[in-house]
Chains A and B, each alone.
Chain A
Amino acid sequence: MSSRAVARLSGVSHRYGDTAALDGIDLEIPAGCMVGLIGPDGVGKSSLLALVSGVRKIQSGSVAALDGDMGDRYHRAAVCPRIAYMPQGLGKNLYMTLSVYENVEFFARLFGQDRSEREARISELLKSTGLAPFRDRSAGKLSGGMKQKLGLCCALIHDPDLLILDEPTTGVDPLSRRQFWHLIDRIRTRRPGMSVIVATAYMEEAAGFDWLVAMDDGRVLATGTPAELLARTGAGNLDAAFIGLLPEEKRRDHQALIVPPRAAHDGSPAAIRAENLTKRFGDFTAVDHVDFEIGRGEIFGFLGSNSCGKTTTMKMLTGLLPPSEGQAWLFGRPAKAHDLETRKRVGYMTQAFSLYGELTVRQNLVLHAQLFHMPPERLRQRLQEMIERFGLAEHKEVLASELPLGIRQRLSLAVAVVHQPEMLILDEPTSGVDPVARDDFWRLLVDLSRNDGVTIFVSTHFMNEGERCDRISLMHAGRVLASDAPQTLIAQRGKSSLEDAFIDYLEEATGEKADAAAVEPDAARSSYRPAMPARFSLQRLLGYAYRELLEVLRDPVRLVFSLLGSVLLMFLMGYGITMDVEDLRFAVLDRDQTPESRAYVQNMAGSRYFKERAPISSSTELDRRMSSGEVSVALEIPPGFGKDLQRGRTVEIGVWVDGAMPFRGETVLGYIQGLHYDYLMQLARQHLGAVPTLTPVNIQMRYRYNQDFKSLYAMVPAVIPVLLVFIPSILMAVGVVREKELGSITNLYATPVTRLEFLLGKQLPYIGVSMVSFFGLVALSVYVFGVPLKGSLLTLSFAALLFVTVTTGIGLLLSAFTRTQVAALAATAIFTLLPTVSFSGLTEPVSSLTGIGAVIGKFFPATYFLNISRGLFTKALEFQDLYADFLALAAFIPMLTLLSVALLSKQEK
């Protein structure tokens, strides 16, 4: 393979379901330079980068990187330490609750660096990226630009030969963006051999790269240096060049967008006016004393990075958020939360796609029109108008979730204007949309503004969109830096472009410099060359375990749920699942009313099982009171009871038992029989002076292990295993799936950590937390419930350790199947709840089960721990009595772990 190419793709295709992300790509990427992939979202840039870095599994074709086949597992393992991959999205591979230092340290551990090397490298990297002053701040509290710098630190910790960055600057303010590229440049001068591949949606940035790959619809449109691409299309800038490269049918309708000048001001009051608008969340000021005034029919732009306060300002205008200070007026009326009249005059489009994906285009439009109470006649007409004007005819019956991004944004705009508002508030309507679709979108906006006189307030982070506005405000950190027509702003600063002017304002505001000379590292650093990573490394495993522990400790909701949740449930189940049937309400229909009959009733009323209620006077009353459930037992004593008894005639007492609750019914029958015999004995003793033997055989019942026959003693030892199933497995499952959902699972794909290390490392902290909760539960049972532990605590703890390892293992296994946290929750609940409650011997012994329940019971770990727990708590058994259960429990551990490893993928599918 030629040393010139760092990566070579031939015939690479990649599909997600029915959509092709990459379609027969043949590409050779030169080594030792800065390569840019350009093109809008969703054209396959990210898929291509993921394939080159080995993070994603190759479906068809071949990918070679760093002189070897990326389809080969051993080559991937060998070159993994030489590649660094930074996924798309702000801080996607970072851990938001960890501090800056802890994040970088975690990556250093995964690459097997020892403490002294780690510390030296981290402090150097933090210094050169300007993050040193923030080393103890948690990643979640960094600004977007700082997050990306931290991501870069994490990527550079192991001196990669190939640096792959997927849209590293999207959504970052222009100053931070420029600083970021200066940083990359400095690193490249220091390590000239390093190859960098970057995907970007900003054409201005791409202009500075060495070599470009223009992509569209999963295909490569053209490759070459920026100058070559410009020359080929004869365009003046890359945006235009890219449009020139698009296939004919996409380009056909495209014309350069011209914004006609706005008609002269008619002197009517401002459509929007804001004075001193301020919003604070806690001690964080999101919007800081902002003033502006927007005239009717004007297109007014808000420019700034993510989280600079654009969205918050817009929400205050729409009445979604009340301002902390200051006020805003819409059409001269103060913006208020419940002003339904104003809402009818305003259309709002939120930042994220906010329509109902499960409704069709037509249904979405109709729903919104109906909510504005458009008469049916007018509605039909308006619907037709919208569908024509926004070019939605061919998508009319398509579900909104299935629309391509550009068309979805058009639908959002159609929905926002369906009720003919006089004002539109649009929050980053075009982010992620390709340049052609963006121009189309703006053409609609211009049409609305110039022809219909709609006032448009739009936010964006694209500078060329800012240039199309009548006036703009430059925003940063909640403040408006400057506000005027774009040309005026550029002229005031004496710059040639809006971006340069914005950076100039930012430098003035923050005191930072775009090319701030960072401290250059000392050149004498030992050159670190990672060897082929070891098959198994305890350091990597512990690296993951330490990180997970920090996360758990810093997420109070999870920790509280796992610890307090089990205590709460223990109380409920210990007291709630009472099998003791006591205080049953009974009433008597006494048709005799003699001392004998009262004595019989007294015998029942005196026991702790029964509580007497007001007497019954008739049979209908008996029926009524029993059917309302007011009494569960009724006695009927016949007339002449006392007399007959004295004469020695056999008398009969009728008993009615409520059988609606079968368990209670059975128990009541038992009690009544017992009390009845008791009474007969007493009677005999009074009359005969001696207790006669009524039955020929004397049956002695020996209730063992629980002499008082209190359900507490039986339930508490059984509740501990139940609680140690649910919470640990759910926490564990969510713990892994969270990484999938938030994207940090990429670190498993992109670093040398193995699947086994990843799984065990994640499991360790949860085993720890579960053991803490186990000791809490034992203490609760002994000290609060007063259920003594008759066996050895050590043996029980050992069994618990095995058991929580198994139950967290179940969570791991389930997390291998599920993709979302909700699914993980539901799956864990379904797969553990029924077997634990019904088939593991909690109420009914496993040996009494039949059919599928018996099979599940045998292969469910809770069965064995339940046996151990009951044996130790109530039966004072020793380890040797229970070793078979211990062995069974231990056998689950390797089985679950191996299964989870087999099901977890080291690459993204």
Chain B
Amino acid sequence: MRRLSNIYRLGIKELRSFVHDRILFILIVWAFSGGIYAATTATSQELHNAPIAVVDEDQSKLSGRIVGAFYGPYFKPPIMISHAEIDHGLDAGIYTFVVNIPPNLEHDIVAGKHPDLQVNIDATRMTQAFIGAGYIQNIVNGEVGEFLKGYRQNTALPIQLTTHVKFNPNLSSAWFGSIMELINNITMLSIILTGAALIREREHGTLEHLLVMPLNAAEIVLAKIWSMGLVVLLAAGLSLHFVVQGALHVPISGSIPLFMCGALLHLFAATSMGVFMGTVARNMPQLGLLMILTILPLHLLSGGVTPRESMPEIVQLIMQAAPTTHFVSLAQAILYRGAGFDVVWPSFLAIIGIGGVFFTLSLALFRKSLASAQ
């Protein structure tokens, strides 16, 4: 009872300090509102405005149709260039795609000669290159098919493929990006807030002050975890409601309370990591550098940016120990796929386990650092 009251009082003090720090407050508001909005709308991983050029050596009705078929938002209006300009344009990175329409294309097609049509792709632009190539193939085939309708019967393929895209039928990256950005912010801020709260006490000498009072290390650590966790949880909940659903119109199929439960567990793990780093780092600059080195991998390798199953085995294995991996997986399952607790319980369990280990570890380290502090 006494302990709970201590943890409660210290946490209230933590919240008072937090509210007092205007800049930090503004930063958090920005991260969960404007930050998510900007990150989601400014960039996309789908094909968008890809620069394309066409070398039209046919100058026929069909080639005109093909050129006219490339339009926004997938492609920029195609630029007509000569054959000699292809290499320079690709070398300098002006275009990602150059479609080369050979002479007599229309004539040869009508004659059934199966002429070649070449597409040059700058394969160093990974996101656009592969998806764009598929689009170009479909567009050209489509236009040719349409064109031929007047001339001859299209032959049906023996097996038809009917594709359904589940959970995000338009493959809109705003759906994906906003939630992943939210997750990143949850992780980043819970680490920063607890880490910095600890370093601040140390740098201002108030930590010693707490230690000469009838308090123990666990109470100090737990107070920081609950108070800063509450701040982030509140910000995340509001952001999910007003920004993600409100401003960005992302439909959420699953249960938000279930997701918030997951977020709560994740916060426990992430804030424990924050305490861990706040104990390891001796001062704010070190905490900053340590954070960059930790948050980047958490961000890049937990499956929020690129699919996990495509990463090297060893990376996948190591990332199993990061709470973000499980959080990303449960968030995707709940929010996009509408999964219930019966589906996501292993992720919940994993996060509890990881959080518990980090908490015990950071508590032990914190105790040790107190004992050897100069």
Contacts and interface: CB of A to CB of B under 8 A. Distances in A.
Interface residues of A, number: 141
A299 to B, nearest CB: 20
Contact of A576 (B215, B311, B333, B370): B311
Contact of A659 (B166, B370, B374): B166
A867 interface: yes
Interface string A311-328: 010010011111000000
Nearest to B18: A358
Interface in B54-83: 76
Interface stretch (A15-23, A37-45, A540-548, A582-590): A582-590
B114 A698 contact: yes
Contacts of B214: 340-341, 343-344, 371-373
A354 interface: yes
A565 B294 CA distance: 11
A628 B344 contact: yes
Interface residues of B, number: 125
Given A659-B167, A697-B105, A829-B292, A849 B309 contact: no
Given A666-B47, A673-B134, A822 B284 contact: yes
Interface stretch (A56-64, A89-97, A115-123, A839-847): A839-847
B112 interface: yes
A657 B163 contact: yes
B299 to A, nearest CB: 9
Interface in B266-301: 283-286, 288-289, 292-293, 296-297, 300-301
Contacts of B159: 600, 645, 650-653, 676, 679-680, 683
A575 interface: yes
A565 B46 contact: no
Contact of B51 (A698, A734, A845): A845
Contacts of B343: 624, 627-628
A569 interface: yes
A648 B156 CA distance: 11
Contacts of A663: 45-46, 127, 131, 173, 306
A673 B120 CA distance: 20
B63 to A, nearest CB: 11
Nearest to B215: A371
A340 B212 CA distance: 9
B96 interface: yes
B257 interface: no
B172 A662 contact: yes
A357 B93 CA distance: 55
Contacts of B126: 579, 711, 714-715, 843
Contacts, number: 392
Nearest to B199: A822
Interface stretch (A345-353, A382-390, A757-765): A345-353
Contact of B96 (A669, A693, A845): A845
Contacts of A707: 123
Interface in B303-340: 305-307, 309-312, 315, 329, 332-333, 336-339
A699 B137 contact: yes
A350 B310 CA distance: 55
A622 B258 CA distance: 22
A825 interface: yes
B166 A656 contact: yes
A665 B140 CA distance: 22
Contacts of A784: none
B176 A871 contact: no
Contacts of A367: 9, 13
A709 interface: yes
A651 to B, nearest CB: 5
Contact of A583 (B148, B213, B309): B309
Contacts of B92: 867, 871, 881
Contacts of B286: 557
Contact of A662 (B46, B88, B145): B46
Given A358-B21, A707-B123, A881-B91, A848 B158 contact: no
A654 interface: yes
B306 to A, nearest CB: 5
B104 interface: no
Nearest to A600: B159
B285 A651 contact: no
Given A654-B162, A660-B336, A673-B161, A825 B285 contact: yes
A650 B16 contact: no
B51 A662 contact: no
A730 B291 CA distance: 13
B350 interface: no
Nearest to B145: A696
A576 B311 CA distance: 7
Contacts of A667: 130-131
Given A584-B307, A662-B45, A874-B124, A696 B112 contact: yes
Interface in A409-432: none
Contacts of B131: 663, 666-667, 670
Given A565-B293, A576-B306, A821-B285, A696 B162 contact: no
Contacts of B91: 871, 875, 877, 881
B213 A343 contact: yes
B116 interface: yes
B216 interface: yes
A579 B208 contact: no
B28 interface: no
B109 interface: yes
B297 A867 contact: no
B50 to A, nearest CB: 6
Contacts of A368: 213
B119 interface: yes
A705 B208 contact: no
Interface in A823-849: 825-826, 829, 834, 838-839, 841, 843-845, 847-849
Interface in A762-781: none
Given A697-B115, A697-B144, A698-B116, A657 B109 contact: no
A573 interface: yes
B297 A580 contact: no
Interface string A856-872: 00000000000100110
Given A578-B306, A663-B45, A726 B292 contact: yes
B84 interface: no
Contacts of B205: 350-354
A134 interface: no
B17 A358 contact: yes
B17 to A, nearest CB: 5
A839 B214 CA distance: 53
A372 B215 CA distance: 9
A368 to B, nearest CB: 7
Contact of B144 (A372, A579, A696): A696
27 contacts: A321-B371, A337-B370, A343-B214, A353-B205, A356-B17, A370-B9, A573-B296, A577-B306, A578-B310, A578-B311, A584-B309, A626-B166, A655-B164, A657-B166, A658-B166, A658-B167, A659-B171, A661-B332, A662-B168, A666-B134, A700-B118, A704-B121, A714-B125, A822-B196, A867-B92, A871-B91, A877-B91
Given A359-B16, A703-B133, A848-B128, 8 more contacts: A573-B300, A585-B309, A659-B169, A696-B148, A699-B118, A715-B126, A839-B42, A845-B125
Interface of B: 2, 5-6, 9-10, 13, 16-17, 20-21, 27, 39, 42-51, 76, 88, 90-94, 96, 105, 109, 112, 114-131, 133-134, 136-137, 140-141, 144-145, 148, 155-169, 171-173, 175-176, 196, 204-206, 208-209, 211-216, 283-286, 288-289, 292-293, 296-297, 300-301, 305-307, 309-312, 315, 329, 332-333, 336-339, 343-344, 370-371, 373-374
The 3 A-B pairs with the shortest beta carbon distances in the complex, nearest first, are A659-B168, A706-B123, A579-B126
